[in-house]
Amino acid sequence: MLKTYEIFDRMSPEAADQLFGFLFEKEKPLYKATIDTLTKQRKLRAIFVERKPRAERHAWLREVLGKKVNESVAAHLLQIWLVGAHSKLLCDFLDSLGIPHDSNGTIENLPAAPEKEKLRAAVEDVLTRHDPRVVVIYLHAFQALDDQGWSSLEELLGEDERLKL
């Protein structure tokens, strides 16, 4: 099971740009606070990162968030992005599995792991309806953000080449 910082470490530059672009456009205070936090940790002044062209800034953010020390920040940003920008994906996945959720696709308690074939069908469904890069990140984040995750999902993530980061 990947940790959230490992998801950032393996995330494509395009997916990272999509994530950070969403934060820049829709969650500006969080975007700025993330830069402030990460630059202080590295003993840098935030202005040096903020002045970089967007592509360089996002590459730097992705690299720094790919470090173990930033696991909690990485987890928070993944949650904000997935719920804020991709709630339809979350809802579609949970609906395919018959799991009750709120309008953003979040659940209070993770139910027991579904049967592998039912899970496989749900994954196929969301892969055909949503950006596969985002689906892969979501599935790994779904697994990483719970202490135990689902063994059936862990097996699928390991078996299916399309689901590897």
For the segment 49-101, what is each residue's pLDDT rounded down to a tens digit? 999 999 999 999 999 999 999 999 999 999 999 999 999 999 999 999 999 99
For the segment 106-138, what is each residue's pLDDT rounded down to a tens digit? 998 889 999 999 999 999 999 999 999 999 999
d(CA 92, CA 87): 8
Q: What is the pLDDT of residue 129?
A: 97
pLDDT band at 48 (very low <50, low <70, confident <90, very high): very high
d(CA 151, CA 84): 27
- From first CA to last CA, the distance across the chain in angstroms is 12
Q: What is the pLDDT of residue 145?
A: 85
